[in-house]
Amino acid sequence: MVIKCRPISKGKSKGELIVSNELLSFLGGVNPNTGEVIDSNHELKGKFIKDKILFIPGGKGSTVGSYVIFQMKKNNVAPRAIICLNAEPIIATGAIISDIPMVDLPESTEGLVNGAKVEVNGEKGEIRIL
């Protein structure tokens, strides 16, 4: 199954989905040294997004969140790709400067559940459920 999306950041990656129904702030919400979600009020608290395909509604918080994503990439703890329902500039910029494939506005979310194996193609604007 292929889900069409809007391409945000080029590249292609596959892996296991980690899904949240809550917006995520990378500044103060994610540890850039470990990739652990540390926001005590977030549903992913204590989970690691390293090497996962992160699916979130979007981001929130400071523009420094873009740099936190970049720092995570430098520390090898970033997600393999990011899917947003509706991307905003903070996460989009972070993905672009970090070479993390990213898409948003999926035409469907069917099958996009925790643990699903997917491939994100940021050039074609597609999510393929494997």
* Residues tagged active-site: 62
The answer to whether the beta carbons of residues 26 and 68 sit under 8 Å apart is yes
- Alpha-carbon span 53 to 40, nearest angstrom: 21
Helix H or strand E encompassing 118: strand 117-121
Tokens at residue 78, please? 């970033």
Tokens at residue 24, please? 């995520």
- Per DSSP, the three-state class of 97 is helix
Q: Which residues contact residue 55 at a Cβ distance below 8 angstroms, ignoring those fewer than 6 apart?
A: 17, 18, 19, 20, 82, 83, 84, 112
